[in-house]
Amino acid sequence: MTSKLFNRSKSNASKPMRSKVLPTLSKKKLGNLVPRRGNKVAPIIGSALLKAAGWRTVGEIPNIPQAVVLALPHTSNVDGIYAIPSLFALDLKISIMGKHTLFKIPGVAQLMHWIGVIPIDRSNKGSVLQASIDKFKTGKPLFLGLAPEGTRQYTKDWKSGFYYLAVGAGVPILPVAMDYKTKEIRFMSLVYPSGDIDADLPKIYAQYQGVMPRHPERLSQPLQDINNSID
């Protein structure tokens, strides 16, 4: 299955138009404050898988211990096949939120912790935001990954929880793009939320201009609008 997906990726763009400005990222370029997985084998495997798929990771990851990381655009389950090896290759730990009930299954809790899943009780939406803020307030290194589109299908608006999480926790927002046109996972410029979401969201949208998802027809409306502004 994986090999077929890799072959499909190559056939779609055998000679992708690479970014000429952004440098290629590597494990050695990560600063000492950035959350690490601390695994010696995973970077080797991740790098090999990325190379086989014809993808690369570019941009810059600032040397900070905490951030809300945006994963966009997310239009297919296949996205993870390229995103996860890129994180392994960098030895970068980006945590995600998962149902707390998963951690009650024998043997699953250890796997969830290793992957970087944070148990969250989603039965109370208000408590999810506060629980996430509390995770940052511990002061421990934490890059928390979120997909503000909230779905792999078309959506008119982004969910705003990521923004208020960053404001409440006092941490910056790190936009990351998955561009099928260039076959790059792209780490972009930090956005420090001011508390004025209407002023800050356009700064985030602008960084995704020209980014091509696996399924362009599913691209969220804010990113469609920013792409249409090119014309």
Q: What is the pTM of this model?
A: 0.85
Token pair listed for 35: 């959350």
Give the other-Cβ count within 10 Å of 85's Cβ: 24
Q: What is the pLDDT of residues 125-152, one digit of tens each?
A: 567 888 899 999 999 999 999 999 988 8
- The answer to whether the bond into 73 is cis (omega within 30° of 0) is yes
Nearest residue to 84 (alpha-carbon basis) of 71, 65, 75, 73: 71
**3-class state of residue 80 by DSSP:** helix
**3-class state of residue 158 by DSSP:** coil
Q: What is the pLDDT of residues 46-89, one digit of tens each?
A: 999 999 999 999 999 999 999 999 999 999 989 988 998 999 99
